[in-house]
Amino acid sequence: MPSPNQPHPPDYQGGSLVNLMAELEWRLTGKAPSPRLHMALAAAVPEARTYIVLLMDGLGTHQLSHPDSSSLRDAYRHTLDAPFPTTTTVSLSTVATGLAPLEHGLLGHHIWLPERSIVANSLKWIARGGSPIDIDTTTYLPGPNLWERLAATGVEPITVQPGRFANTPLSRALYRGCRFEPVWDNEELARAIVELACTGPRLIFGYLPEIDFAAHLFGQTSSEYAGALRSVAVTWDAIVNHLPPQVTLIGTADHGHIDYLHADKFLIDPKMVKGLTLFGDPRALYAKGGRRSIERCREAMPATWFDQPDILNWWGPEALVRPEFAERMPDGVFLADQGRLLIPGHMDKRLIGYHGGLDPRELKIPLLVAEHR
């Protein structure tokens, strides 16, 4: 039976990132595979011929209280839920497919590849030791994806983001069927998005990584984090101030951030987890393996264990689980206690900012909206 302390899962029926993408797809094409936004959320998004989605990596709703995010805060309309686990590759896969994780099958930062019997870092597509994985990532996510569905109806999908991400294994997985426009700074990104939005109908997806980078490395009280917020806010303003007619700009994120001290990190002894394969994230650690090993870890870890059948709705509506993804799933999840991290040897223990769980600071992401003035 589910634990009485089971946390609240994302609202995949109308209040999450997947529903935002479904809302935009429905408006542009007249149909979508996932539920649209709840009425109150949808009412905050003006009708348009072209939509721009600017995803600000690592910007949880609670982070809008920072003094350097004032222009972003002014554009705030509502809060959405990120998908579970609250991590970049899962959310970007939800954007790219318009599907919840149960349907798109990319289930964490560190994923289990059953066809290779290895754990892979899905951001870099490398194995635990750092070696590249020889895999065709273009086929990892199911199709037709969002970009392919849009293009089939005459709506052009375009992504504008840092050039260093062009043709990486992750980009090949995410942007199959999407025009990739590389840029080399945020000023160029804003200019490119505005120029591309002059023609439509289009869905333009922009990606800004710097808030996440600064939060991970320096924490939310640092000058580097404040500078990243200012840079993203300036970029947002540059797009807002030059929006063409019949274009709506939507800002959101993939997850929020929480700062941790070194003492908050539970470094996992390999002997304790012998017999288990660990993947997922330090805030939501997945496990596959023997029941005896799981029970041993339950007693030692600052976490609550949840069996997979009890928490399928964390990844999406249970009726939508795809049998072909069953082998990618864990036997269950060690959800770290509030204020704690679970770090096995192949996960990074050096950071300050983390995410991946269901704490509201990780789960709640903003819905920002602007339209032509």
Q: Are residues 127 and 248 located together in one domain of the fold?
A: yes
For the domain that residue 296 is a member of, what is the CATH number?
3.30.1360.180
User: CA 164 to CA 342: how far, in whole Å?
Assistant: 31
Flag whether pLDDT at 1 surpasses 80. no
Task: Identify whether 9 is part of a domain.
Answer: no
Nearest to 50 by CA among 150, 166, 171, 170: 150
Together in a domain, 292 and 244: no
Count: domains in the chain: 2
Query: What range does the domain containing 192 cover?
Result: 17-259+358-371
- In Å, how far are 18, 191, 196 from 29, measured between CA atoms? 16, 27, 19
Q: Are residues 330 and 364 in the same domain?
A: no
Task: Tell me, yes or no, whether 4 lies in a domain.
Answer: no
User: For residues 268 and 343, is the Cβ–Cβ distance under 8 A?
Assistant: yes
In a domain, 235, yes or no: yes
Residues 248, 345, single domain; the answer is no
pLDDT above 70 (res 2): no
Lowest mean pLDDT among 41-50, 287-296, 318-327: 318-327
The answer to pTM > 0.85 is yes
Asked if residue 268 and residue 156 are part of one domain, the reply reads no
Identify whether residues 119 and 185 lie together within a single domain.
yes
Q: What are phi and psi of 212, to 5 degrees?
A: -60, -45
Q: What is the pLDDT of residues 134-152, one digit of tens each?
A: 999 999 999 999 999 999 9
- Is residue 68 domain-shared with residue 161, that is, in the same domain? yes
Tokens read off for 368:
């920002």
86-125 per-position pLDDT tens digit: 999 999 999 999 999 999 999 999 999 999 999 999 999 9
Residues 63 and 194 both lie in one domain: yes
Q: pLDDT tens across 63-93, in order? A: 999 999 999 999 999 999 999 999 999 999 9
Q: Do residues 227 and 364 both lie within one domain? A: yes
Give the 3-state secondary structure of residue 197.
Answer: coil
Q: Are β-strands 341-343 and 76-81 bridged in parallel, bridged antiparallel, or unpaired? A: unpaired
* Within-domain flag for 245: yes
What is the percent of the chain with per-residue pLDDT over 90, rounded to a whole number? 92
Same-domain check for residues 151 and 250? yes
Domain CATH for 151: 3.40.720.10
Residues 250 and 286 in one domain: no
Q: Torsions phi, psi of 28, nearest 5?
A: -85, -30
